[in-house]
Structure formats: structure tokens, C-alpha cells
Chains A and B, each alone.
Chain A
């Protein structure tokens, strides 16, 4: 599994993780809990620089 980062859904505030390679391409994210599709600008952790590598 490649490097991953945690992110928080801007709608339901639940957390999940994605592959860091998704940051290198223009793509959306999809919350597994509420199914909201959102783009990179809406990731709260990114702005707060709280990404974690697991």
C-alpha cells in the first residue's frame, strides 16, 4: 500500500484515508460514510497541515 493520508469529510466530519498519489492528480474525493464527492480545496486537514502518514 502506498503512502496514505487521513482526511475529514467536510459534510459529515468522519475521517478516512486516501493514497497520497491522489494529491498529484486532479481528482475528487468521495466520503465512504455520507457519499459526498468533494475536491481537494474542501479538505480541512490539508489547510491545517494535519495530514498523517500511517
Chain B
């Protein structure tokens, strides 16, 4: 059986059953799934939840919605073929390793593609039939929160290459959505079409294996398809099948739960957003492009996958970003050991890098390479004795190993994130580098510790009961 969302859920239930919950009671797609997930979050519970009876915007119940698929690193470790206990640096390194072994996808005919079990086009088409979720109070509408596939045109900068990346889409009517694109790869594809006044074909993939979505969150070179990357991360070629309405050369994932096909219209803009984003703020209303929907294909009894964006569900999905930063830092400094993009930076703005410093200057080299990824505003580089997944340890290193006058630098005018509330007219931002490593080749204070033999000898339970 090909790896997909359903195979992953089987894995999850087998390996980490406490991370999987089902809700059978009827619940509204308008704010109510969000309310349940927020209540869980307040109790530090980030389990994956299958809502089995969701009411869509038309008031029709019985839809299945899956949320928090990617809300824990333990889930992601299972998705990457590791144990839940390997959810720290092991997971980042595994994603990095697999991302360097891409696998070409395998094309299958429509009759072998589960996503073609139901094909809706023409007058029957109404994306309001799907249980599109309205997440936060000021959201402009229900939003699709998954990944877009766009194919570079023959005249574009990467002819024929399928690009996959995350983009919100706002429900605007039975066959229309708005779309927001940061000026990265999908935007380049769209502009290639728009410059010729042509619509840009896209497919929206709702419901697949978590590693498919991690690949969509990595930033390979523009001429490498995330489809290949997904194959590498999933340890098997991604199965694709020709689209229904976008031409046979436009391939969509055969094992997705739902695929929406459409075209981003050239030279047309409409108000889009506000929308609660991964920064935990609402992105403002913008004048953004419009998508004309042409088809919906889906499995029987499909599972609608929603990302509870602005919460852990998005944070852990940024494992793709973490893997990308690791790859870049490691390419610059081979003795980079770990990279963590912590929750405190929305898993996108801060990076902690652990290195074995063998040459002076390596911390800055590693930090500059990490900054080349784009969104980071703070990079802290620490020695190999610091666990970068323990934020308190990282800041202890800053407190005790860094001097602001010597080891802190500001890099100005980098291309940043358009969703950062603190930037102004353009997408430029500034970044802070803190080298919190000990000086190279000099005697330095030793961290305190209890003798190891004493630690081994003393069993706490023999002295203090109930701890």
C-alpha cells in the first residue's frame, strides 16, 4: 500500500495511540473545531483529532475533518520512520538526510488513483460542500490551509517542474477562492503566466502523508520538484496521476484525500483576509489574486485535512524549514550538529544552532548560512554541550558565554517574511546573530556538575518517596 494519510494514521494509532483522538459528536466547521483544539492546547494536549461529524458552511453534517496531524514532533518522527523518542535532533537530521536522496515520482493511471474515485465538475461543483474550517474570530471566511501545486510553464525559469508549497485559500463562493502568495516559488510561476495574461493552473492537495507536507515546506532549488523531495522523505516514489482539467502534463498526487483543481486568474485581484497566520497574528486584508475552481476530485469517505494554523499544528510542520536551515548551515560548517527552530520564534523566526567549533569564525559562518534561508531574525550558535531543543539551556549559554560588544551582530536588509508584523513597507528585515560559544583555544570556566559516580550510586527513590 502506498504511503498516504490513512497509512500514517494506522502507524500513529499503532505506535503512539495516546496521540490520536476521535470526536463523534456533531460539531460546526465555524470556530467549533478550533475551540476544541484550543481547549486541548490550554491543557498542553496536542493530539491528532479526527472529527467524524462536522457540519459544513451549508449546514450539512457528517463530514470527516482531521486536525493536529502535525502538532507534535513525535508524530513527525513516526512519519519520518523514526520512533517517537527520536523527535529531537535525530528527526531534523533524518529529514536532512532524506532530503538529499530525492526519488522521482511514479505516474499511475486514473483508475489506480484513489483520489479519482469521485470527480466533481461543471454545475455540480461547489467547494462549499467541503467542510472548510473557519479558524479565528477575524478570519475573513472559511480557509483552506494546505498545499498548492503549480507547474512552471515552458517559458518559465524551471520549465515543467512541479512546485509544491503552502498557501492559504479563502472561500469566496462555490467555485472561487482568493489566494495569498509570498514572493517565492509559486508566485514566480504565477507571474510567468500573468505576464502573458494567462491563467495559472494549480492544484490544491488536501490530505496526504505528513512527509508530503514537510517536503512542501522545504525550499529546494527552484528547478527541483517537491514531488521528488516527498519521495525521498517518504522512502518511496510519490504516486502521481494526470489532472482532470489542467492537462495530462499537470500531475497531482494519486493518493491524496482531496484535490481541488483551478486557475489563478491573471490581472484580477479582490479583497482577501484578514487571516490568522503562523505568526499568531492576523495577516491584514490585501488585494490578492483569485482562483477559479474547475474540479474537485476525492476519495470515497474522504478525510478533509485542516491545519490549525497559528498553533502547534503549524509549528511542527515547519520541520521542513528546520531541515532546510540545517542543510544550509551544515553545508557552510560541516561540524554543525543540530538545528532547532523553537516555538518561541513561531518555529520560523529563531534558530538555535549547535556546533562543534574546530576553527574560530565557524559560528558566524553557520549563522550567515542559516540566514540565507530567509525568515530568520535571530540565530544563536552554541557549543556541543548545549541541547538546542532545551531553550533554557540555550539562553544560559547566551548569559554565560556571550559578550554583546563582541559576539552579537545585526545583519540588515535581508529578505524576510511578508507575514512578520514588525516589518514595514517592504519585505526586508534585520537579523540578530549571537555567538554563544566559548572562545576557541582559550581556557574557560567549567560548568558545574556532580561526580558521575555519585549520581550512579544514589537512587532517589531510596531516599525520597513519591517524587
Interface of A toward B, CB cutoff 8 Å: 1-4, 16-19, 21-22, 25, 27-30, 32-33, 35, 37, 54
Decide yes or no whether B439 CB sits under 8 A from chain A.
Answer: no
Cα distance, A4 to B421, chains bound together (Å): 9
Would you mind naming 19 contact pairs between A and B with Cβ atoms under 8 Å apart? A1-B284, A1-B418, A1-B423, A3-B425, A16-B138, A16-B274, A17-B284, A18-B274, A19-B284, A19-B286, A19-B287, A22-B285, A22-B287, A25-B287, A27-B271, A30-B140, A30-B285, A32-B138, A32-B285
B140 engages A2 (CB within 8 Å): no
Task: Choose from A2, A17, A28 the contact partner of B271 (Cβ within 8 Å).
Answer: A28
B285 engages A21 (CB within 8 Å): no
Task: Choose from B141, B281, B285, B422 the contact partner of A19 (Cβ within 8 Å).
Answer: B285
B285 engages A17 (CB within 8 Å): yes
A18 engages B285 (CB within 8 Å): yes
A27 engages B284 (CB within 8 Å): no
| Main SS class of interface, B | loop
Cα distance, A2 to B183, chains bound together (Å): 14
Q: A18-B285, A21-B287 are in contact. Are A30 and B271 (CB under 8 A)?
A: yes
Cα distance, A44 to B221, chains bound together (Å): 47
Q: How far is the CB of A51 from chain B (nearest CB, A)?
A: 13
Q: Which 5 A-B pairs have the closest CB atoms?
A: A18-B285, A32-B140, A30-B271, A4-B284, A19-B284
B269-297 vs A: 1/0 string, CB under 8 Å? 11101100001011111110000000000
Residues of A within 8 A of B273 (CB): 32
A37's closest neighbor in chain B, by CB?
B271
Cα distance, A32 to B284, chains bound together (Å): 11
B419-430 vs A: 1/0 string, CB under 8 Å? 111111110000
A18 engages B138 (CB within 8 Å): no
A2 engages B274 (CB within 8 Å): no
Decide yes or no whether B139 CB sits under 8 A from chain A.
Answer: yes
Q: A16-B138, A25-B287 are in contact. Are A32 and B274 (CB under 8 A)?
A: yes
Residues of B within 8 A of A21 (CB): 286-287
Cα distance, A27 to B178, chains bound together (Å): 15
A17's closest neighbor in chain B, by CB?
B284
Q: How far is the CB of A54 from chain B (nearest CB, A)?
A: 7
B366-394 vs A: 1/0 string, CB under 8 Å? 00000000000000000000000000000
Cα distance, A22 to B269, chains bound together (Å): 11
B418 engages A29 (CB within 8 Å): no
Q: A16-B274, A17-B274, A37-B271 are in contact. Are A29 and B424 (CB under 8 A)?
A: no
B274 engages A54 (CB within 8 Å): no
A1's closest neighbor in chain B, by CB?
B421
Q: How far is the CB of A17 from chain B (nearest CB, A)?
A: 5
